[in-house]
Amino acid sequence: MGGITFWQHYGEAAKTSVGFFWKAGWAFVLGYAISAMIQAFVPKKRLTEHMGAADLKSVSLATVFGAASSSCSFAALAAARSLILKGAHFVSAVAFMFASTNLVIELGILILIFLGWPFLVAELFGGLILIAISRLLIAATYPKQWIKEARAKVAAESTSEDDGFDWRKRIASRRGWRLVGNKFVSDWQMVWEEITIGFTIAGFVAVLVPPGVWETIFLIGRSDTLPEWLIVIENAVVAPFVAGATFIGSMGNIPLATVLNANGVLFAGIMGFIYSDLMVPPLVMVNAKYYGWRIALYIAAIMFASIVLTALIMHFSFGLLGLTPESSRTISDAAQFAIDYTFFMNLAFALVAAILVGLHRGWVQHEMKEAAHRHHEHGSRLSIKRMIALTSAVVIGGGLIAFAFTGGIG
């Protein structure tokens, strides 16, 4: 290792994790601010009333609704269950899940920052293809009795969300903008653990996992002994399992996708990895809790097949058009600290975040003191996920101290 010590590796890994956070900070604020405004000012009831069938109109509305929602994977599953409770068709609910984790603006901004515009284009078009394929697969295999039983399982649950409002009056009111602040903070409360864990893992994987591991998993450099088409298929098939092994989804997957890109994983593999944020075991278990294991595994199987087919379609389509991106963006490019646009964007959006947090406090003070108190008590519980997130923060803090003393790998 050329005299490089454990502490140097540790410090470099922590610095890389923080670099990922730094690069993405303003994008998170922008994305969740827009998401909060959409949630506060767009009446959802008008959309869900038209999602009761498996036709193009219902699926299209579900896609629009999903794209306008938060990108938190767990929130996506909860919202999909709410749609089913309101009478949405199962196909529409699945379309919503895909759209709310693959077509949201904050995810697109992160992909653009970390991976570049070809990946963003592939994410957007691929997300639509993903939904179309899943619709066809569900139509061909629709387990009517299973779905009926799953719907009965959650029929006793109800939602008390008030969607009966005039958006013009709300957008012009102080109360409406306080609600935006509340939605913004609520979204962050849902995703900060996943983001912290994902970005920490990405930094440590980038520094500590040798390239040989990725070469073995994704058959990198084997084109002399294996046909290229077979390697492409293998990348698309293996990627969802790699994503599942990380136990993180949504926004936390993007820096890890950057690691794969920097190590030469094919376009099909990277896109399959990004699409697979709903395939991680914790999310499959959430679906099992909602609908039972048969439907949870059925959803996972539909998603897996849709993801693999979409990744292959995007890979070969981009190849025919000559748009396949090369694995050229390095980890240092994606996690660098410099006085550049990122620095000024982070300053500007830190101010935006402070304003929105202030609006949230106004909402709590004027609208929901008791509810906020109950929410605070609930949020203070130390779940396993929260313990891992807090441990990740401590690990990063220790690594930064190590970096200060050792200078990292250099």
Q: Is 188 strand, coil or helix?
A: helix
Give the pLDDT band (50/70/90) at residue 106: confident
pTM (predicted TM-score) = 0.74
Span 329-346, pLDDT tens digits: 556 665 667 777 788 989
Q: Is the pLDDT of residue 46 over 70?
A: no
- Write down the pLDDT at residue 159: 45
- Write down the pLDDT at residue 375: 47
Span 188-204, pLDDT tens digits: 887 788 778 878 887 88
Task: State the Cα–Cα distance between residues 57 and 276, nearest whole angstrom.
Answer: 25
Lowest mean pLDDT across 207-221, 242-256, 284-298, 327-341:
327-341
Q: Is the pLDDT of residue 91 over 60?
A: yes
Task: State the Cα–Cα distance between residues 67 and 65, nearest whole angstrom.
Answer: 6
Phi, psi at 124, each rounded to 5°: -70, -50
Q: Which helix (H) or strand (E) holds 376?
A: helix 369-379
Please provide the average confidence, as pLDDT, over all residues in the chain.
83
The amino acid at 399: G
215 exposure class (CB count in 10 Å sphere: 0-12, 13-18, 19+): middle
Q: Provide the CA 28 distance to its chain's centre, in angstroms.
A: 11
Task: State the Cα–Cα distance between residues 212 and 263, nearest whole angstrom.
Answer: 9
Q: Is the pLDDT of residue 49 over 70?
A: no
